Structure 1
Amino acid sequence: MLEADLKAQLKGYLERAKRPIHIIASIDDGEKSRELLSLLDDLKDASPKITVDTGGDDARRPSFALTSPGHDIHLRFAGLPMGHEFTSLVLALLQVGGHPSKAAQETLEQVAALEGDYDFETYYSLSCQNCPDVVQALNLAAVLNPRIRHTAIDGALFQDEVEAREIMSVPTVFLNGQPFDQGRMTLEQIVAKLDTGAAAREAAKIAQKDAFDVLVVGGGPAGAAAAVYAARKGIRTGVAAERFGGQVLDTMAIENFISVKATEGPKLAAALEQHVREYEVDIMNLQRATQLAPAGDDGLIEVKLENGASLKSRTVILSTGARWRQMNVPGEDQYRNKGVAYCPHCDGPLFKGKRVAVIGGGNSGVEAAIDLAGIVAHVTLIEYDAQLRADEVLQRKLRSLPNVRIITSAQTTEVLGDGNRVNGLVYRDRVGGDSHRLELEGVFVQIGLLPNTEWLKGVVELSPRGEIVVDARGQTSVPGVFAAGDATIVPYKQIVIAMGEGSKAALGAFDHLIRASAPVQAETEAA
């Protein structure tokens, strides 16, 4: 099942297990069960601490539970956790085997102290880069707290359940049989939803913090670079981020990050955070900024957060990034995650054998159409312009595919559905003016980015597109407030450019601090 080099790596990892790991498999006569048995044989060969019992009686087959003798652990994989989920399997084995998690001790204690019975089910796809975070978080919770159960389910393998539960986006999490949440979630976010008093406690803690020299708002590539450059100057640096990593977390393949031939978004995001944590940076995750107040008489800029707390700093670097742009047509919001999707890598496998549309003819749209064509029955790509805007090499590949139709000069006007899921789309021919209906089951929107700057309107200067206006040093229209990354007017929204702009903004902020303090120092020396 596993390649020789992967077996060797696995063996090395499993040497860290401290206690026995018992695997109980539920199988049938199908091909997937045979593949699972092969995988379990490889796991057993990789560590003397692993034992396998194939007499499980779980209704989902193939599936297997992980536990340890003398420990009350309820953790199960339904399907074969390969692809992006292989890391989830390795981590689960280590944690069931007693290897400690690297999560914050405060969070681990919070999970262990949760009261009540929680039976989680997570539906994932093997190509989803967002799913492992959720699977790993809930697996860890199941190891820490015996009243938490978790089953990670391959949606492509258990299509009957996906259809019955009307799941059209992954990761999708159910709690005690009821929908809990969708999309990427960290352990901290999950605990915050379960522990209703957590947000208030965190707000109180934040309110007690002293003022920063540099406060970075946003934790994507620009924010991470700004934090590193600021911290290296030896000044008090903080980062308030809604989710550390930003949009990079939603990026599948990265092949244009100079000096790194190829990587994946979540891996790069983890590396960014690890680098920032090498310095004395106060990282405040899961914090959304809602208001910016220019410096008052005390010389401090204030950033108010959604939880009611406020942070103050001598300078601020705004790196709030951008999000996928919506079509803003009837039916889009109603059928979000019910056929309307924004991540073809994550949700594509759920549309196997179905008809879908991709909205957008740039690189993202054409790449999405190419990827989906290998999974779904048919793809219709709809582009507003008279021609596609993607690179020519991508266009040639797209046009070579037999199950793809390209429609240009077309404006999507409505997403149709039956109340539960998408069943069609209406577009207007921009040349003739006629409207046409497409019968389909999925709509993937890939029409560019929208800056996360609504909360800054009326405070800092924004472009007509809502981007923050900055000068060559990253300075905004507000003294002491700098900005960097996809939220600004700087063209070419690329990771490497965002990092450079974040570094530049931090240097600009440091220069501002030096110049602002110089007169005070001079007066002191004169006295």
Structure 2
Amino acid sequence: MLDANLTQQLKAYLVNIREPIELVASLGDDAKSRQMRELIDEIAALSDQITTATGDDARRPSFLIRRTGTEIGVRFAGLPMGHEFTSLVLALLQVGGHPSKAAPALLDQVRALGGDYHFETYFSLSCANCPDVVQALNLMAVLNPGVTHTAIDGALFQDEVASRKVMAVPTVFLHGEVFGQGRMELEQIVAKLDTGASARVAETIAAKEPFDVLVVGGGPAGAAAAIYTARKGIRTGILAERFGGQVADTMGIENLVSVPHTEGPKLVADLERHVREYDVDIMNLQRADKLIPAPEGGLHELVLENGASLKARTVILSTGARWRQMGVPGEDTYRNKGVAYCPHCDGPLFKGKRVAVIGGGNSGVEAAIDLAGLVAHVTLIEYDTALRADAVLQRKLHSLPNVTVVTSALTTEVHGDGDKVTALSYRDRTHGTMHRVELEGIFVQIGLVPNTEWLAGAIALSPRGEIEVDDRGHTSQPGIFAAGDATTVPFKQIVIAMGAGSTAALAAFDHLIRLPAEETHDWEEAAE
């Protein structure tokens, strides 16, 4: 199961195990069970701290990683390879007593949770968001004896997925009821269980002193801006609804100059690691609700959704964008019940089924190509008269026997039976005729919408809702700057967002040093 490279890496990690663990396998006679047996034996052979045993869990194949002589452990139903291999490594280490690097206060919060919590998470091996959820719940199960967690490969347990109506990953069940769907970090999970957490966080944020620069958004533009301002020695804060933003949902990235290939989750981790090398106050998982520009000579105010507010001498807006929705009847009703926006994450749940991809740009055509290798049939629907994707992608698409391309088509409705998607209707824009496609899944890939609704009335926005900026990132309000996909910059690319974030940071610094010196700041003294 493990190649020589993975074997050597894993062996190096396993020396950090402090307490003995056992791998308790519940296996059948199928091929996956034989693969799991092979994987378990290979892992056990790498450390004298690991032993194996036979279990009788109802889910087969599955295995429990348990601290020997205790009830501390986590279970994987399926082979945790692909994106979940990191989850496997962390589970082995943490069950084996290796400490987590999460914030001590957050770990104490997990330990203090009272009651019992039985979690189950359905994942797919191609899902880039699933490991965050699996790893968070695994850590909770290690820290708190009242928490149990089983991570389940949805593609392997298809009957279970169907009976529980799981049509998107990650999907988390708590005591058999849906607890959450989509990417969740440890802080978010704990906040849902610890009802007083949000108020405590709001109180802490409200007590913060004003920042010289407050960056709103933690994607490539926001990370670059925070790094550049922090390097100037000025008081910098960064507020993010989700550090990394849209990049966290991106798979292969091959156009980031000097980095031939990386993946979104890895790039996000690298961005956050780089920001944390500087004295930046990171306020993650916080949503901005209102911006109040400063009166002349005053401080800008940012009001958060939790009721707290922050003040700053300058603000850099880098709120990014989100997937555009079709806006047709049935889309909201069947979201995560057949309507999906991440083919890499949810594609394996539609193995052998019929799906549609909405959108003929690069994202849509790439999605159709990927899905064609999993599903029975793909119908790609494009509004324009021709596909807009790169020629090389179009050639690959047209070579696939189980793909139908429909152009000049407007999707008009998503149909379902109350539980799941059953069909899609579209209108032929050339002839005006209506058509219905029977299917089980719809993947929407029609571009992005800037996250700027909350800024209406505070700064100038374009008709498309983008923040209007000049070549230095200035907005219509003095002391407020913007960068990245939320702005009127013509090309939405990671490398361009990083450059724009750096530009906005330098412009903010230039603005600060030209302000009247009403009070002395440490960084100003250092510059003299």
TM range (shorter): over 0.9
Matched residues in 1 for 2:338 and 2:280: separation? 41
- Write the deviation string for residues 37-56 of structure 1: whole angstroms up to 9, x where unpaired: 10011101111111011x20
- Write the deviation string for residues 14-73 of structure 1: whole angstroms up to 9, x where unpaired: 1111111111110011111100010011101111111011x2010000000011124431
| 3-state SS, counterpart of residue 22 of structure 1 | strand
Question: Which structure 1 residue ranges, 4+ long, deviate > 3 Å from structure 2?
Answer: 517-521
Residue 490 of structure 1 is matched in structure 2 by 489
- Write the deviation string for residues 246-300 of structure 1: whole angstroms up to 9, x where unpaired: 0111001111111111111001001100100000000001110000001136610
Give the TM-score, by structure 1 length. Answer: 0.98
Residue 210 of structure 1 is matched in structure 2 by 209
Is 1:361 the counterpart of 2:360? The answer is yes
Asked if structure 2 preserves the Cα contact closer than 8 Å seen for 1:216 and 1:240, the reply is yes
Q: Which amino acid aligns with 1:364?
A: S
Matched residues in 2 for 1:238 and 1:519: separation? 21
Counterparts in 2 of 1:146 and 1:434: CA distance versus 1, 3 Å: same
Q: Which amino acid aligns with 1:482?
A: F
Matched residues in 2 for 1:517 and 1:240: separation? 27
Residue 80 of structure 1 is matched in structure 2 by 79
Asked if structure 2 preserves the Cα contact closer than 8 Å seen for 1:240 and 1:285, the reply is yes
Matches of residues 288-327 of structure 1 in structure 2 within 5 Å? 288-296=287-295, 299-327=298-326
Shift of 1:138: 0.3
Residue 46 of structure 2 is matched in structure 1 by 46
Number of equivalences: 522
Q: Which amino acid aligns with 1:166?
A: K
Structure 1: any 5+ residue segments left out of the alignment? 522-527
Matched residues in 1 for 2:115 and 2:306: separation? 25
Residue 200 of structure 1 is matched in structure 2 by 199
Residue 526 of structure 2 is matched in structure 1 by none
Matched residues in 2 for 1:348 and 1:449: separation? 20
Matches of residues 172-251 of structure 1 in structure 2 within 5 Å? 172-251=171-250
How well do the aligned residues superpose, as a CA RMSD in angstroms?
Answer: 1.3
Residue 401 of structure 1 is matched in structure 2 by 400
Shift of 1:450: 0.1
Matched residues in 1 for 2:197 and 2:371: separation? 40
Residue 525 of structure 1 is matched in structure 2 by none
Give the TM-score, by structure 2 length. Answer: 0.98
Asked if structure 1 preserves the Cα contact closer than 8 Å seen for 2:73 and 2:95, the reply is no
Q: Which amino acid aligns with 1:24?
A: V
Matched residues in 1 for 2:217 and 2:372: separation? 35
Asked if structure 2 preserves the Cα contact closer than 8 Å seen for 1:74 and 1:148, the reply is no
Shift of 1:122: 0.1
Asked if structure 2 preserves the Cα contact closer than 8 Å seen for 1:74 and 1:146, the reply is no
Residue 30 of structure 2 is matched in structure 1 by 30
Shift of 1:520: 8.0
Asked if structure 2 preserves the Cα contact closer than 8 Å seen for 1:409 and 1:430, the reply is yes
Structure 2: any 5+ residue segments left out of the alignment? 521-528
Matched residues in 2 for 1:520 and 1:310: separation? 22
- Write the deviation string for residues 102-122 of structure 1: whole angstroms up to 9, x where unpaired: 111111000011001000000
Matched residues in 2 for 1:256 and 1:460: separation? 32
Q: Which amino acid aligns with 1:480?
A: G
Residue 465 of structure 2 is matched in structure 1 by 466
Residue 330 of structure 2 is matched in structure 1 by 331
Q: Which amino acid aligns with 1:423?
A: T
Shift of 1:74: 3.6
Matched residues in 1 for 2:52 and 2:481: separation? 57
Matches of residues 433-472 of structure 1 in structure 2 within 5 Å? 433-472=432-471
Asked if structure 2 preserves the Cα contact closer than 8 Å seen for 1:222 and 1:502, the reply is yes
Matched residues in 1 for 2:519 and 2:234: separation? 18
| 3-state SS, counterpart of residue 138 of structure 1 | helix
Q: Which amino acid aligns with 2:93?
A: L
